[in-house]
Structure 1
Amino acid sequence: MGKIVISENVSLDGVVQDPTGDEGFRRGGWFDRMADRDRVEWTKVEFDEALATQALLLGRRTYEWFAARWPSRTGAWAERLNALPKYVVSSTLVDPEWNNSTVLDGEVVDAVSKLKEELDGDIVVYASRRLVRTLLEHGLADELRLIVHPVVLGAGERLFGETGPELSLRLVDTRAVGDGLAALTYGIVREAQDAG
């Protein structure tokens, strides 16, 4: 059975909105503030994650962002992402162009549940804010991997919305990434989620 892993870059105050500044959010672009050493170490963490991943699960907008950038890139990380199976949750995307991409049919919860049953290993979700909230709300996510950036934005869409479910998490790993980032890994505790 597959394990859904949510992998996010997040500000210290929990914002995930517009890290690269492409969405027009007035406080966007915060991802690019990291120091050079932090970027090098962040790249290593992300590449290692990609090597251990069996498939990507993405919302449409995130898929389109990645698909516009990664197919033309070279190097081991690009080769890995381009080769991975990619599953897209979308009701509007018909013909995905990035190789090894499949649009999941039907209702999201059913489609993702079926995907978890069919695959073994980590199914990583990058960004995809709305999809992440749906996965958390329906108990489909198994692990959170957060790279915390040392910036407080004070506004913006956060990873956890106010109407989301109560979650109990278990700290699995924590480590410094470069001089300014922190990598936090949490397992989602099912008993507490089911009891709520």
Structure 2
Amino acid sequence: MRKIIVPTFMTMDGVLQAPGGPEEDRSNGFEWGGWQFPFWDEQMNNNPGKIMATSFDLLLGRRTYEIFAAHWPYQNDAIGEIFNRINKYVVATTPIDMSWKNSILIDKDIVNELKKLKEQDGPDLMVWGSSRLMQTLLAHRLVDVLHTWTYPITLGKGKKLFEEGTQAQRWKMTDSEVSAKGVIFASYILDGEVQCGSFAPQEASEAELARRQKWQRE
């Protein structure tokens, strides 16, 4: 069975839109494209490199696929060699140019097709960018591994990793590191259901009971 792995760059307030440059994604008037650039250094190259040293295929949403297809076929570096060689599974419900070598369209019954894809033999499926696709994956509990780079900035607007519809799940941290510029890298795997408890005393005060009743009426 294949795992779905999501590596993502995000701000402290969870924004993942257009980390790499101003023209990457200006949708909804987003004006902070390239926010990742000032924090990038040699240390920041290491973790993505380790993640992509494993065997994987790409799983992409339409917009990220179009960004990648306009860039990577024209690159001769190590990442370009990998991306051009492997399969690219593309989730899209509108017409799209699929001429990039080894591209495979998923355009109907998306969730079931993704479940079938996971059940197949083959390399794991890695999702870069693709914020809309991420929402679908998180809403249907299809993500197995998260790698996050959290940058020490807040933007206040933009597409986010965890939007409304994300399912309640518990995650276990398996690795972490902080860069010299304050970027926090962390890896997580699924770790069962969310567990809750309470620090409240066993017997609530009359004031606390009154507060609860008041809030229920509001």
Would you call these one fold, judging by a TM-score over 0.5?
yes
Provide the rounded CA distance (Å) in 1 between the counterparts of 2:79 and 2:48. Answer: 9
Q: How many residues align?
A: 190
Matched AA of 2:42: V
Provide the rounded CA distance (Å) in 1 between the counterparts of 2:106 and 2:168. Answer: 27
Provide the rounded CA distance (Å) in 1 between the counterparts of 2:171 and 2:50. Answer: 23
Q: For structure 1, which runs of at least 5 residues remain unmatched after alignment?
A: none
Alignment of 1:25-174 (within 5 A): 25-34=30-39, 38-174=40-176
Aligned pair partner of 1:186 in 188, 202, 213: 188
Residue 13 (structure 1) aligns with: 13
Please give the per-residue CA displacement for 1:159-193, whole angstroms capped at 9, x wherever unaligned.
Answer: 11134322211111111345332211111234449
| Higher RCO, Cα 8 Å, sep 6+ | 1
Q: 1:53 to 1:180 in 2, by over 3 A?
A: farther
Q: 1:87 to 1:51 in 2, by over 3 A?
A: same
Q: Percent identity?
A: 36
Contact preservation (8 Å) 2:10, 2:148: yes
Q: Say which SS state the counterpart of residue 65 (structure 1) adopts.
A: helix
The answer to which of 76-85 and 129-138 deviates more is 76-85
Cα-Cα RMSD? 1.9
Provide the rounded CA distance (Å) in 2 between the counterparts of 1:179 and 1:75. Answer: 26
Provide the rounded CA distance (Å) in 1 between the counterparts of 2:153 and 2:55. Answer: 28
Report which of the two structures shows the higher radius of gyration computed on alpha carbons. Answer: 2
Provide the rounded CA distance (Å) in 2 between the counterparts of 1:177 and 1:124. Answer: 23
Please give the per-residue CA displacement for 1:46-91, whole angstroms capped at 9, x wherever unaligned.
Answer: 2322221321100000001011111111122211121111100012
Contact preservation (8 Å) 2:135, 2:165: no
Normalising by structure 2, report the TM-score. Answer: 0.80
